[in-house]
Chains A and B, each alone.
Chain A
Amino acid sequence: DVVMTQSPLSLPVTLGQPASISCRSSQSLIYSDGDTYLNWFQQRPGQSPRRLIYKVSNRDSGVPDRFSGSGSGTDFTLKISRVEAEDVGVYYCMEGTHWPPITFGQGTRLEIK
């Protein structure tokens, strides 16, 4: 199975400052149809996961534009341009290219400094 490795695992950020989370896969995530099935999820404390980004860089409806996704092949990044208090939580990358199974990264905990 593909291994998804996130870094850092803990990310203290000052309000208003940018944040960046890396996700690396052990194999390329480019599927035979040309798409890359790499998603990002946010899980706020005590809540269910919520998808932020799908297929690397597409923001879900209602997701603030301070969130952006980028990358290709095996290296991907989630960026928050200016962190707000409501962004506290754990962020997960997820790959589906090598389905089955679906594989998640370990998660990155974002906290306010």
Chain B
Amino acid sequence: GESVGLHLPTLSVQEGDNSIINCAYSNSASDYFIWYKQESGKGPQFIIDIRSNMDKRQGQRVTVLLNKTVKHLSLQIAATQPGDSAVYFCAEADSGTYKYIFGTGTRLKVLA
């Protein structure tokens, strides 16, 4: 039968503005969280990670926020550039069971 394509949520942002991509995770036991960026035709690329003993971590132009109370993760991209256009995935991992779970992804479109 015909498969139904995943509907990826899309975030459209003006170049130069800040972007915030959200992710709800499912496993309360997850203690490691990662954001990946995937450009068309390429494999996912690691952006930033955070462990459960932290609630914020900053990288170059990116910040990850973790709210364990509501099982929510967000990725903030400062001064969004055209090269940031891609699909962004969050992943949660449980170091006890060694399992990784990926979110469905959010498509970021940067408008010139």
A and B physically associate:
no
